[in-house]
Amino acid sequence: MKTDGMNYFAGLDIGGTHGRLRCCAVDGTELGTFQSDGCSINTDDPEKSRLRCRKLVLPALWSMGLSPDACAGICVAASGVDSPSLEKQMRGFFEEMGFSPQVLQVMNDCEIFLHLSDGVSLALISGTGSICFGRNEQGYVVRTGGWNHIVSDEGSGFDMGLKVLKATADAIDERIPSSLLTEMVIQESGISDLETWNDFINKHLFEKSAIAKFALTGYQAASLGDETALSIHRICADALYGLVADTLRKLEFAKYEKQKQADLWLWGSLLVKNHILREMLIDKLAESYQEVRVGIPECSALDVAVRIAAKRAEKG
């Protein structure tokens, strides 16, 4: 490991809602873990993303007496890093803080889970947004979805939350029967008329987390057997299945599936915490892809980022 002035390495997991940072001394001793607001660089204003990265990183380093130029390795797993130009922009945020380009690695927060498997590997995230990455044994990487919450992010917290709000609005408008879901959303939001709902949606359409939070209400209603909420879950499970199927197609997995297996790692708040959605997805995958082994990582995206940062530090 580097020792000449380089005294720590760091991993970051920057999601659409929360950002997390962990710093370790070069001998592997954990120095601290920190959390602040997250961002998605593909949909949030660039200046907002830049400031949120600084808000997460700089105060944490200062509290430990560390500086960016003393970092031996840093891996940033960030939501919305969907193109070389966005990767370059995110790298710029950290280089501006003082991190050396030589120790900095930036990737999408879903892609990072591909590092958990050696063979054919996929990673599906459904949190505030959604995206699927896949990698074959030759290291060729493809991605599906996750372009932004207006044209993509199907099966995500935003998608489910918006469907929950649409169903509530339809019930208030007497287009569909009112249900337990309707009652729970009105109680949660305090909004019971369409004009106020319209104002809420217009105000928060580009604040994904404000709408995504209603996915939890949908899950709670589905857990109590509400058919409207369960129907929304089925639609979202079908959408997530489509992300996986399209990723396997791009990898040409059908040519090799008789001889090979693939690991599919599920991550994000909806897939980890919403057992109804997860089980619907797994059941649907089992019907078509018996060769795909589905699991939830025992380590977090932050843990993997720290591992990659440690390897970068070891290279010197």
Task: Say if CB 116 and CB 5 are below 8 A apart.
Answer: no
Q: Is the pLDDT of residue 105 over 70?
A: yes
Q: In what order do the strands lie in the sheet with 30-37?
A: 30-37, 18-25, 8-14, 71-78, 104-108
5 pLDDT band, cuts 50/70/90, is low
Grouping H, G, I as helix, E, B as strand and the rest as coil, residue 105 is strand
Neighbours of 46 (CB within 10 A): 14
Q: What six digits make up the tokens of 286?
A: 């089992």
Reply yes or no on whether the pLDDT at 110 is more than 90: no
Identify the CA nearest to 156 among candidates 243, 226, 229, 72.
243
Lowest mean pLDDT among 192-196, 252-256, 285-289: 252-256
Q: Given a cut of 60, is residue 145 above it in pLDDT? A: yes
pTM of the model: 0.79
**Mean pLDDT, rounded, for 163-179:** 96
More confident residue, 17 or 265: 265
Task: Report helix angle 275-288 to 227-250, nearest 10.
Answer: 40
Alpha helices in the chain (DSSP H): 46-63, 84-97, 157-172, 180-189, 194-204, 208-212, 214-223, 227-250, 269-273, 275-288, 301-315
With a cut of 70, say whether residue 258 has pLDDT above it: no
